[in-house]
Amino acid sequence: MSSTPTLPRDMRNTVLPGHAACHGCPIPMGLKVVGAVFGDKVILVVPACCTSVVLGMHPGTAFNGSVIHVAFASAAAVASGISAGLFKRGVRGVQVVAWAGDGGTADIGMASLSGAAERNDDFIYVMYDNEAYMNTGIQRSSATPAGAWTTTTPLGKKESKKDVTKILIAHGVPYVATASIAYPHDFYNKLKKAAGIRGFKFIYLHAPCPVGWRFDPSLTVKVAKLAVETGMIILYEYYDGKIHISGPSRPLLDKSRRRPLIEYLKFQGRFHGISEGELRNLESYVDSSWEWVKKFMQ
Amino acid sequence: MVLKSLTGNYAVALAVKMARVDVVAAYPITPQTTIVEKLAEYIDGGELDAIMIRVESEHSALAAAYGSALAGARAFTATSSHGLLYMYEWVNWVSRARVPLVMAIVTRTIGPPWNIWTDHSDYYEQRDTGWIQGFAMDSQEVFDMTLQAFKISEDPRVYLPVMIGLDAFILSHTSMPVEVPEQELVDEWLGARTQGFIIDGSEALIHGALSSPEYTEEFIKDMGKAMEEAVEVIREVDYSFGRTFGRSYGGLVELYKCSDAKYHLVLMGAWAGDAMEAVDTLREQGYSIGVVRVRYTRPFPGEELYKALSSSKGVIVVERGVSFGSMGPMFLDIAGNMLKYSRKLPYMRNVIAGVGGVNVTYKDFEYIAKETIDYIESGEEPSVMTWYHARRSK
Amino acid sequence: MSNLTKKAKSLHKIPIARPSIGVAGRTGTWRWMKPVVDLSKCTKCYQCEIYCPDNSISVEALKGAVVNYEYCKGCGVCAEVCPAKAISMVEEEQHGP
């Protein structure tokens, strides 16, 4: 662990202390990495989501860069517009990043996201996935995994998680990746790589929410790591028509090296009381995700 | 200056091109489509150096135009009816964001049933959004109003978006001669874009963050102030346009044969031309009547209308739209705004006509005017609000 | 021509905010558990700083991890990720402001 290189100092300067995030919130962890890559040369486009609140109230904001708050369904469309406007005016060296939650991406923002991806508009879209509508009080989204309790699925969600990353791969955009707040260096490298590519880039960021998932706020990183170590979340990049599996997930191609899924679930109150059948379902969801990834590695 | 035969939609497109927009974001809908088709032609043909974002919905059309406007680009979009309603969230967002932007609305009836012909209900429904709203009568005015819209929107006293209404087919697809000025003259008159803030990474700015009720109230009140200031800005822009290009329209309201008129027809849009024709005939028959053509409905020209109508014997407001359970939106605006100047209002009648795109001709205006005038002259008062049904009355 | 886009002095109130520290107030008052660093154990590995959601712990080159108690909300992520177990969470004596 201690051999991990430090991230550049801009990480320290971008998310400002005294913001309005809950204890142990993964969002500022992710934003700090965005800051480490781009410093203040970034324009975040934020639809309605937790980040709208986390960054605090007018006239201040806890982010040392530019932020445009936009209507829920529109992060991708506004980002397309900004990117075009900057390009037309000859402004270079500023990265446009749409920063949206799973609701604003997998649900209400899907059409505008798909449109921007199909047009291959030049910006990075980060979907930070806390797997439910946390800002409005933990309602299920299409990215909520099966079996999880939310306030609108009190008996657990019946349907499987929508895998937005696969949908974006189907768009044929130049760069798609998955990342986790537990692996900031991996996320950093992916943002860096994305920034060097012209066109549409999509990065999925797994972001466990202590409040909504019902775990102790000190465990955010641990839970995020377990998601990767159990194989529930697979870290990879997709470019040149292939999946390239990332360091933290690579050993887990061998199923025997994955930790049992229950180790990830047991820390989370939202999975308390899931049935044996639901657990099997989740396990087969994990297996089929890996099979799918393996197919696209060829 | 050259004279060109242009449809209303092509007049919009040409004005947008001559305003040298940077970004066009649009989605097709009848009858707006030929505007963006023409702009796409200009851009791909190298006649206009702009980026076209071919979005997947109207909601995204305005969102993308907005993004580029925030980033400092002169931006434009256009839509109609259901497209406008689909982008309604963004219509409100853009004005409250205080970013200059121009949008053309080719007015079309709202469904169901599906209907592509003109009425003004889509345009009227935007009246509380904080956009400056103008409505043109012919291709020349559409061209001029589009150029003026950029200047008004980008005026530091205003910084509000502007929408321009034009009637489906009657204007959008009908060719009329348009005087097209020299590009250099347009460049000089319009000048470079100005806006209150630019988000381009040169400084860390945060737009639209969560805000307390108190701050929010200040922003909203300020929009009202900007709207009030826009009245003078619109007059100034119309005047300076006239000095440069030789055409003025009288500001927010155009008066036709009103100087000695006892009765007044009030309306907006392409059919104002038919109303003017009717007035010519009525005058020959001895009726003392003029047309008050409303060019801007936001800001509402209360002062102009009060001056024009306060001593009228009868005001007939003819509208292609209605607020269900109430009356015509413009009638309500006129009545309410005139109260700012006097408690005593002239006799006013609200005629709802042409809704759903029903054709209303100069004959119908003659009928409507005569009926009202004859009632009043005989000492009777007709009902304040009526539906004029073209099919039944003929 | 459009490159000349100007930012004219705005006469208006526009919803533009600026970056600032403490937008949600002194969030240290939200804390009920307090991270305490045993500097003798700190290996300056940066893990706490990298993950701290409040950006309220930083590793100083000579000293080691230093907590900004004015804003630290006391979530305990730093203690959890510290590989040297140099950070312990102790109960706050006083709760609230």
Count Cβ atoms within 10 A of the Cβ of residue B379 and give its class: 0-12 exposed, 13-18 middle, 19 or more buried: exposed
Q: What are phi and psi of A286, to 5 degrees?
A: -65, -45
The CATH number covering residue C40 comes to 3.30.70.20
Same domain for B33 and B65?
A: yes
pLDDT band at residue C1 using 50, 70 and 90 as cut-offs: very low
A21 has a chain C CB within 8 A of its CB:
yes
Q: At what angle do helices B302-309 and B329-338 cross, to 10 degrees?
A: 80
Query: So what's the pLDDT on residue B389?
Result: 82
In-domain check, residue C26: no
Give the pLDDT mean for B22-38: 97
Query: So what's the pLDDT on residue A2?
Result: 39
Q: Give residues with Cβ within 8 angstroms of A31, minimum separation 6.
A: A14, A15, A51, A63, A99
- Are C22 and A60 an interchain contact pair (Cβ–Cβ within 8 Å)? yes
Same domain for B262 and B239?
A: no
Of B50, B200, B208, which is closest to A86 when you measure between CB atoms? B200
By residue range, what is the domain housing residue C44? 35-97
Query: So what's the pLDDT on residue B289?
Result: 98
pLDDT band at residue B381 using 50, 70 and 90 as cut-offs: confident
Q: What is the pLDDT along chain A (298 residues), one digit of tens a residue?
A: 434 567 877 889 999 999 999 999 999 999 999 999 999 999 999 999 999 999 999 999 999 999 999 999 999 999 999 999 999 999 999 999 999 999 999 999 999 999 999 999 999 999 999 999 999 999 999 999 999 999 999 999 999 999 999 999 999 999 999 999 999 999 999 999 999 999 999 999 999 999 999 999 999 999 999 999 999 999 999 999 999 999 999 999 999 999 999 999 999 999 998 999 999 999 999 999 999 999 999 8
pLDDT tens figures, B181-219: 999 999 999 999 999 999 999 999 999 999 999 999 999
Residue B96: closest C-alpha in chain A: A70
By residue range, what is the domain housing residue A192? 10-297
pLDDT at C50 exceeding the cut of 90: yes
For tokens 């994990």, the residue is A286
In-domain check, residue A270: yes
- Are C56 and A32 an interchain contact pair (Cβ–Cβ within 8 Å)? no
Last residue of a domain, one of B245, B275, B296: B245
pLDDT tens figures, B7-21: 999 999 999 999 999
- Are A12 and C17 an interchain contact pair (Cβ–Cβ within 8 Å)? no
- Domain count for chain C, please give it: 1
- Domain count for chain A, please give it: 1
By residue range, what is the domain housing residue B228? 2-245
The CATH number covering residue B369 comes to 3.40.50.920
- State whether residue B245 is helix, strand or coil: helix
The CATH number covering residue A64 comes to 3.40.50.970
Q: Rounded to an integer, what distance in angstroms lies between the CA atom of residue A12 and that of residue B336?
A: 57
Q: Are A238 and A175 in contact (CB under 8 A)?
A: yes
The percent of residues above 90 in pLDDT, for chain B, comes to 97
In-domain check, residue C80: yes
Residue of A7, A10, A16 to mutate, testing the C interface (most C Cβ within 10 Å of its Cβ): A16
In-domain check, residue A203: yes
Q: Rounded to an integer, what distance in angstroms lies between the CA atom of residue B241 and that of residue B238?
A: 5
Q: Are B171 and B141 in contact (CB under 8 A)?
A: no
Same domain for B233 and B326?
A: no
A185 has a chain B CB within 8 A of its CB:
no
- Domain count for chain B, please give it: 2
In-domain check, residue A291: yes
Last residue of a domain, one of B245, B279, B310: B245
Rg of chain B over Cα atoms, rounded to whole angstroms, equals: 21
Q: How many other C-beta atoms are found inside a 10 Å radius of the C-beta of residue A169?
A: 17
Query: So what's the pLDDT on residue A1?
Result: 40
Q: Give residues with Cβ within 8 angstroms of A196, minimum separation 6.
A: none
